Amino acid sequence: MRKTTALLAAVAAMAGPAARADTVDVSSTTMLTLGQQPLDGQPNQAPSLGTVVPVFELLNIAAHNVTNPVAQNLEIVVSGWGSYNFDTIRWDNGVSTRLTGDLVNAYIGGRLFNNTVQLRLGREFIMGGVARGLQLDGGEAIAMLPFGLRASGYVGVPVTQRFTGVVPTSWNPQAGSLAYGGRLSYYLALPGGFSGRGLDLGASVNWVNDGSNMPVRQEVGADARLMLLRNVIATGFFAYSVYDERISEGSVVLDWRAIPRLDVNADFRFTAPDLLLSRQSILSVFSASSRKFIGGGATYELAHGIGVGANYHLVLEPGSEGGTYYGNELDAKVDWHHESTRAGAEFFLLDAFENGYYGGRLFGRQDIGRFFGTADVMTYFYRHNINGQDYSVIGILSAGVELAKGFSAVVSGSAGANPLFQEQYSLLVKLAYNANYRVREVK
């Protein structure tokens, strides 16, 4: 956390008199939580339940359009947190110390050469193409070329949690110690009165190696986005594992805004889950299975503040004796709001080969002036017992108040029972602050 503090202070100092930001967004959340965790599990013994009481400070600072002589829209973004455990040390933060923390983002970015090159350096996400939102300590450059062409490249180290750990213990889904890749795309703008009408085609590559320069992931991909009509958009994605010479992922999504209040979509998705494992995993050579999802959904905004929506997908997964299991995935939702009241209900169903569930959720919120209260209840029923129990239920009550000058306070408590705890409870108290500072006047 000391490193975090020092880094944040340094970033703030960088945004000093010589670099005045047009806007600075700040959000801070200080929260204390209290709950239970199973701890110190040993073979053939039930773990003990410990009470964990961590206090968190979550901080986001984003300065945009920082005035400077070099880059356009220079931005400095830092998002991080720190926590201190008052009682038993939590295990889900990856370290065994009372004081811990991490950075989610910490980057500086801007556009150069008359907006033709975009640079970002630091802890960031690589969002486009086959990178799949790779969290990286490194840099990315995007060049806007003539004739609708764009080229991007990135290099860095896949993020490891909590400033600790080495490659073998990284939680990063792509693991490895060096990642690099890029994307080349072409945008064909079509005339027609609205922005975004056109065809976007991209080809991307993502290479990840481990410390011995051995392959962790080697993928190439193609993506497309087509918008001819203002109410229809089609997207596609295709990824191929070069190392294993197999298709790792594919999807086609069609979204149609049938009428202003009705949105309909259909999609087909294919995944080969084993290809998302590291190529250095001993388990990566045992399977070549796949999953397919076919279905779609719709949302409709009725009158009187009522909205409804539902999605259904047929799930094709490996079944018994080498066959295919035809599973089902369904969710439906109704939402209602009127003035300062909001309520909703949800239904879920998942039918998979090994197990399945159906469940529901009811929620509501009432605002009274600066005060508000919420209630949230969820329950699930499982087809087969999980740990000897076939249901779970949890209820959450929250109350809060909007304080002056961007501050707000919330108290929340939950209680329930699930297969992992016969009973569970938690308590949260937090003070939050959100502000948008406009620094430079419009001239």
Partner 1 sequence: MNRSLAILFAAALAATGCRAQKAAKPGETAAHGAKAAVPTSDFTHQIHLDQGIGCTDCHEGIDKATTLTKRHLPPSAKCAECHTDNRPAPSTENIPPPRLTFSHAQHVSQKQIAGKCDFCHKKLPEMGEPYPKLSMETCTQCHKHQQDFAYGRCRPCHLDLKGYKPEVAYAHEGDWLRNHGAQARPSAESCAACHDQTYCGKCHGPTTTAARPSVIWPEDVQASFIHRGDYVSRHTVEADANPSSCQKCHGPQFCQACHAQLNRAQNGQQEGVGGFQFIRPPSHNASGWANNPAAGNNFHGEQARANINSCAACHDQGAQAVCVLCHQHGGIGGNPHPPTFLSNHSRGDINKNNMCKICHPPGTF
347 counts as binding partner 1 under rule CB under 8 A: no
Look at the block and give the residue holding tokens 């508000």. Answer: 372
Phi, psi at residue 276, to the nearest 5°?
-90, -10
The DSSP line for 392-409 is: EEEEEEEEEEE-GGGEEE
Long-range contacts of 405-409 (CB under 8 A, 24+ apart): 405/435, 406/433, 406/434, 406/435, 407/431, 407/432, 407/433, 408/432, 408/433, 408/434
The residue within the footprint of partner 1, chosen from 212, 303, 304, 339 (CB under 8 A), is 212
315 counts as binding partner 1 under rule CB under 8 A: yes
Minimum CB separation of residue 45 from partner 1 in Å reads 6
> Per-residue x/- mask for partner 1, residues 269 to 308, rule CB under 8 A?
--xxxx-xxxxxxxxxxxxxx-x-x---x-x---------
Q: Which 3 state secondary structure label does DSSP give 240?
A: strand
Phi, psi at residue 337, to the nearest 5°?
-145, 140
CB 290, CB 250: distance < 8 Å: no
| Interface of this chain with partner 1, residues 3 to 62, rule: CB under 8 A | 4-5, 8-9, 12-13, 15-17, 20-31, 33, 38-47, 56-62
Choice between 150 and 180, CB closer to partner 1: 150
Minimum CB separation of residue 317 from partner 1 in Å reads 7
Minimum CB separation of residue 261 from partner 1 in Å reads 9
| CA 53 – CA 89 distance, rounded (Å) | 8
266 counts as binding partner 1 under rule CB under 8 A: no
98 counts as binding partner 1 under rule CB under 8 A: no
| CA 434 – CA 59 distance, rounded (Å) | 10
Choice between 180 and 292, CB closer to partner 1: 292
The residue within the footprint of partner 1, chosen from 99, 164, 230, 302 (CB under 8 A), is 230
Minimum CB separation of residue 393 from partner 1 in Å reads 8
Choice between 12 and 306, CB closer to partner 1: 12
Minimum CB separation of residue 129 from partner 1 in Å reads 6
227 counts as binding partner 1 under rule CB under 8 A: yes
CB 371, CB 399: distance < 8 Å: yes
The residue within the footprint of partner 1, chosen from 151, 235, 330, 429 (CB under 8 A), is 235
> Per-residue x/- mask for partner 1, residues 378 to 417, rule CB under 8 A?
x-x-x--xxxx---x-x-x-x-xxx--xxxxxx-x-x-x-
Cβ-count burial 114-136 (b if 16+ within 10 Å, e if not):
eeebbbbbbbbbbebbbbbebbb
Tokens of 287: 């399977």
360 counts as binding partner 1 under rule CB under 8 A: no
246 counts as binding partner 1 under rule CB under 8 A: yes
344 counts as binding partner 1 under rule CB under 8 A: yes
Specify the DSSP class assigned to residue 45. B
* Of 352, 134, 173, 356, residue with least CA distance to 273: 173
3-state helix, strand, coil split of the chain in percent (to 5) is 10, 65, 25
| Interface of this chain with partner 1, residues 117 to 176, rule: CB under 8 A | 118, 124-125, 127-129, 132-133, 135, 142, 144, 148, 150, 159-162, 168-175
